[in-house]
Amino acid sequence: MKARPHGRPGPPDRSVPPPPAHARTIVSAHAATSHADLSDLHPPVTPFETGVLDIGDGHAMYWEQCGARNGVPVVFLHGGPGAGIAPTYRRFFDPTRHRAVLFDQRGCGRSTPRASLTANTTWDLVADTERLREHLSIDRWHVMGGSWGSTLALAYGQAHPERCLGFVLRGIFLFRAREVAWFLDGMGTFYPEARDAFLGFLPESERATPLESYYRRLCDPDPAVYGPAAVAWSRYEESCSRLVPRVSDSPVDACLPLARMEAHYMMHGGFLEEAQLLRDIGRIAHLPAVLIQGRYDMVCPPVSAQDLHAVWPNSRLEMVPDAGHAAMEPGIRRAIVRALNDLPSPRR
């Protein structure tokens, strides 16, 4: 998707109609487990250090470290953009072996200002990640990211390959135009009722341009305008994110950073050139990578993981046969834990 001008969008039509009624591929084998049963993760942990880092442009970034102070360093890049971190994500890491670094990207979670699009681009986030590494005096680290986090992990790695030991990526998203188009419309092939609700939120005259129409609302300063749009956007994504769908009931405050920032990044093509992350894979091709992909991922379809795997000689693609997109689906989370448990320690 080509970048669009950075100016503020025009005012939206504030009338809101009611929604309508209506290489080396490994296939994982495992038994189904309730999403509520998280016994296959590591035990809950409390961070041994937290902080807020001034990253400039009026932004302050929350970060935390957990696990072993002298353990294998791994940085966790959350999805969205705009989703933020959660305590459950700490449980991907072995507290006796990993030194896990997690942070809320600009504008979300405990970072401030909340839901701000000012100086909020892929390359700002790449710079923030590197600034945090320097702040924590970590020489090199493994990079883990899922969904948008996989995009950011690739962008960071290609900008700073000398600081990376390897990658664990989940739900691959390369931010090509066709992937954005799939999110906006293609998911409706499998979830037509979710797409109908997503489009039905908009006046009929705006349904041919849903990204632009939602973006205008999400950038509006009036909570009565941006609030319902954020909820509608988030419900659409949530409805398509799992093998067994569930409807999001998150409040506006929780939905806004994710919806606003996802629309912002999509409007600007991820601040990347088309297929840039595939084109520049040579910068990190010598590093190992585990690519974990749900076979029925409707948000980030498996073709992107396959495309990345095909150009990355040191990658291993693990296709989870009974999973969609969400990180906490049983097969996905187990594959993440296995991949992290197998990380080698850095050479001294």
- Domain contains 187: yes
How far, rounded to the nearest angstrom, does the alpha carbon of residue 186 sit from its chain's CA centroid? 19
Counting the structural domains of the chain, the total is 2
pLDDT for residue 252: 87
- Domain contains 9: no
Whether residue 166 is found in the same domain as residue 193: no
Whether residue 76 is found in the same domain as residue 89: yes
Whether residue 252 is found in the same domain as residue 276: no
Would you say 57 and 107 are in contact if contact means Cβ atoms under 8 Å apart? no
Percent of the chain whose predicted confidence (pLDDT) is above 70: 88
pLDDT for residue 253: 87
Helix (H, G, I), strand (E, B) or coil at 235: helix
- Domain contains 10: no
pLDDT for residue 22: 36
Whether residue 115 is found in the same domain as residue 203: no
Residue 178 has pLDDT above 60, yes or no: yes
Whether residue 72 is found in the same domain as residue 143: yes
pLDDT for residue 19: 38
Indicate whether this model's pTM tops 0.85: yes
- pLDDT digits 0-9 by tens, 36-75: 689 999 999 999 999 999 999 999 999 999 999 999 999 9
pLDDT for residue 137: 98
- pLDDT digits 0-9 by tens, 268-306: 999 999 999 999 999 999 999 999 999 999 999 999 999
Sheet of strand 315-320: strand arrangement = 25-27, 315-320, 289-294, 164-170, 141-146, 72-77, 98-103, 59-67, 49-56
- Domain contains 5: no
Report the catalytic residues.
147, 297, 325
Whether residue 130 is found in the same domain as residue 90: yes
Q: Which domain holds residue 256?
A: 179-270
Given 270, 302, 326, which residue is the final one in a domain?
270
Whether residue 86 is found in the same domain as residue 147: yes
Confidence of residue 346 (pLDDT cuts 50, 70, 90): low
Where residue 73 sits, what CATH number does that domain have?
Answer: 3.40.50.1820
How is residue 177 written in tokens?
A: 């135009």
Whether residue 333 is found in the same domain as residue 207: no
- Domain contains 2: no
Residue 224 has pLDDT above 90, yes or no: yes
pLDDT for residue 23: 37
- pLDDT digits 0-9 by tens, 250-268: 788 889 999 999 999 999 9
**Which string of b and e fits 109-134 if b means at least 16 CB within 10 Å?**
bbbbebbbbeebbbebbbbbbeebbe
- Domain contains 15: no
Given 254, 270, 286, which residue is the final one in a domain?
270
- pLDDT digits 0-9 by tens, 76-112: 999 999 999 999 999 999 999 999 999 999 999 999 9
Nearest to 159 by CA among 186, 210, 123: 123
**Which string of b and e fits 51-83 if b means at least 16 CB within 10 Å?**
eebebeeebebbbbbbbbeebbbbbbbbbbbbb
Percent of the chain whose predicted confidence (pLDDT) is above 90: 84
Whether residue 162 is found in the same domain as residue 229: no
Whether residue 69 is found in the same domain as residue 184: no
Cis peptide bond prior to 113, omega within 30° of 0:
yes
Whether residue 316 is found in the same domain as residue 183: no
Nearest to 163 by CA among 131, 198, 117: 131
Whether residue 68 is found in the same domain as residue 145: yes
- Domain contains 13: no
- Domain contains 17: no
How is residue 254 written in tokens?
A: 């929780």
Which of 12-21, 30-39, 97-106 is least confident? Answer: 12-21
Given 270, 300, 316, which residue is the final one in a domain?
270
pLDDT for residue 246: 72
Provide mean pLDDT across the span 184-206. 96
